[in-house]
Chains A and B, each alone.
Chain A
Amino acid sequence: MTSDRLRLLLPMMSLAVLLGAVFYLQPRAMSYFGLNLLFNLAIPVALATIAQMMIIMVNDIDLSVGTFVSFCACVTATFVHDTPLLGYAILATAILAYAALGALIQLRGLPAIVVTLGMSFVWGGLAVLILPSPGGASPEWLKTLMGLKTPLIPIAVIAPLVIALVVHLLIKRSWVGVILQGVGGNERAMERAGWSVVRLRAAAYGLAGLFGVLAGMCLVGLTTAADANIALRYTLLSIAGVILGGGEFVGGRISPFGAVIGALTLTLAASFLSFLRLSPDWQIGAQGAILILVLAVRLLFLRKEAAA
Chain B
Amino acid sequence: MTLKAIMLGAATGIITLTAAVAEADTSDKRIALSNNYAGNSWRQAMLESWQKNGDAAVAEGVVAAADAFTTSENQATEQAAQIQNMILQGYDAIVINAASPTAINGAVKAACDAGITVVSFDGIVQEPCAWRIAVDFQQMGREQVKYLAERYPDGGNLLEIRGLAGVFVDDEISAGIHDEVKNSNFEIVGSVHGDWAQDVAQKAVAGILPSLPEIVGVVTQGGDGYGAAQAIGATDRSMPTIVMGNRQDELQWWADEQASNGYETTSLSIAPGVSTLAFWVAQQILDGNDVPKDLTVPFLKVTQDDLVEALKTTPKGSVANVEYTQDQAKDVIATAK
A residues with a Cβ closer than 8 A to B are 26, 28-29, 33-34, 37-38, 40-41, 44-45, 133-136, 146, 219, 222-227, 229-234, 267, 270-271, 274-275, 277, 280, 283-284, 287
Residues 78-103 of chain B, each 1 if its beta carbon lies under 8 Å from chain A, else 0: 10111011011110000000001111
A33, A45, A136, A223, most chain B CB atoms within 10 A? A223
Are the CB atoms of A225 and B88 closer together than 8 Å? no
Q: Which of B71, B75, B76 has the most CB of A within 10 A?
A: B76
The total number of A-B Cβ pairs within 8 Å is 97
Residue B27 interfacial (CB < 8 Å): no
Residue of A whose beta carbon sits closest to that of B90: A28
Candidates B73, B80, B103; contact of A134 at CB < 8 Å: B103
Find out whether the CB atom of B100 lies under 8 angstroms from the CB atom of A227: yes
- What residues of A have a CB within 8 angstroms of the CB of B101 in the complex? 134-135, 227
CA distance A29 to B107 in the complex (A): 16
Contact, CB under 8 Å: B105 / A223: yes
**Complex: chain A residue closest to B100, CB-CB:** A227
Q: Which residues of B contact A224 (CB under 8 A)?
A: 102, 105-106, 109, 127
Contacts of A29 in B (CB 8 A): 88
The CA-CA distance from A30 to B271 in the complex, in Å, is 41
Take A37-B87, A280-B38 as given contacts and tell me if A222 and B168 are in contact as well, using a CB distance cutoff of 8 Å. no
Q: Tell me, yes or no, whether B299 is within 8 Å of chain A by CB.
A: no
By beta carbon, the residue of chain A nearest B110 is: A37
Contact A135–B126 (Cβ < 8 Å): yes
Closest to A225 in B: B102
Whole-angstrom CA separation of A234 from B81 in the bound complex: 14
| Contact call B76/A227, Cβ cutoff below 8 A | yes
> Does residue B70 face the partner (Cβ distance < 8 Å to A)?
yes
B69 interface contact, C-beta 8 A: yes
B102 and A226 within 8 A (CB): yes
Asked if residues A233 and B77 are in contact (CB atoms below 8 Å), the reply is: yes
- Residues from chain A with Cβ under 8 Å of B258 in the complex: none
Given A41-B84, A135-B126, A223-B76, verify A275-B89 contact (CB < 8 Å).
yes
Are B81's CB and A223's CB within 8 A?
A: no
Please report the C-alpha to C-alpha distance between residue A267 and residue B106 in the assembled complex, in whole angstroms.
Answer: 17
B residues contacting the other copy or chain, number (CB 8 A): 34
| A229 touching B100 in the complex, CB below 8 Å, given contacts A37-B84, A275-B89, A280-B72 | yes
Q: Which residue of A lies closest to B69 (CB)?
A: A274
Shortest beta-carbon distance from A215 to chain B in Å: 11
Cα A232 to Cα B78 with chains together (Å): 11
Asked if A41 and B69 make an inter-chain contact with CB atoms under 8 angstroms apart, the answer reads no
CB nearest neighbor in A for B75: A233
Residue picked from A28, A226, A280, A284, most chain B C-beta under 10 Å: A280
Contacts of A271 in B (CB 8 A): 81, 85
Cα of A274 to Cα of B71 in the assembled complex, Å: 9
> Is A223 within 8 A of B78, CB to CB?
no
> For B67, what are the chain A residues with a Cβ–Cβ distance below 8 Å?
277
Task: Please measure, in the bound complex, the distance between the C-alpha atom of A134 and the C-alpha atom of B167, giving whole angstroms.
Answer: 11
Q: Complex formed: what's the CA distance from A134 to B101 in Å?
A: 6
Q: Which residues of the partner chain B approach A280 to less than 8 Å between Cβ atoms? A: 38, 69-72
Shortest beta-carbon distance from A233 to chain B in Å: 5
Which residue of chain A is the closest to B102 with respect to CB atoms?
A225
User: Could you tell me which residues of chain B, from 109 to 133, have a CB within 8 Å of some CB in chain A?
Assistant: 109-110, 114, 126-127
Task: Write the nearest CB–CB distance from B32 to chain A, whole angstroms.
Answer: 11
Quote the shortest CB–CB distance from A126 to chain B (angstroms): 15
16 interchain pairs (CB within 8 A)?
A: A38-B84, A41-B84, A133-B168, A146-B106, A222-B80, A223-B80, A224-B105, A225-B105, A225-B126, A227-B101, A230-B76, A230-B77, A231-B77, A274-B69, A277-B67, A280-B69
* Chain A residues near B89 (CB-CB < 8 A): 26, 28, 275
Given contacts A133-B168, A223-B103, contact A34 B80 (CB under 8 A): no
What is the CA–CA distance of A295 and B114 in the complex, to the nearest angstrom? 38
Q: Which residues of A are found within 8 Å of B69, using beta-carbon distances?
A: 274, 280
Chain A residues within 8 Å of B114, by CB = 33
Closest to B35 in A: A280
Residue B104 is within 8 A (CB to CB) of chain A in the complex? yes
Contact between A274 and B70 (Cβ–Cβ < 8 Å)? no
User: Which partner residue on chain B sits nearest A237 by CB separation?
Assistant: B77
Given A280-B71, A283-B72, check contact A223 B88 (CB 8 Å): no
* A-B contacts besides A219-B77, A267-B81, A275-B85, 13 pairs, CB < 8 Å: A26-B85, A28-B89, A37-B110, A38-B85, A41-B77, A222-B106, A223-B106, A224-B127, A227-B103, A231-B77, A270-B72, A283-B72, A284-B72
Known: A133-B168, A223-B102, A230-B100. A287 touches B72 (CB 8 A): yes
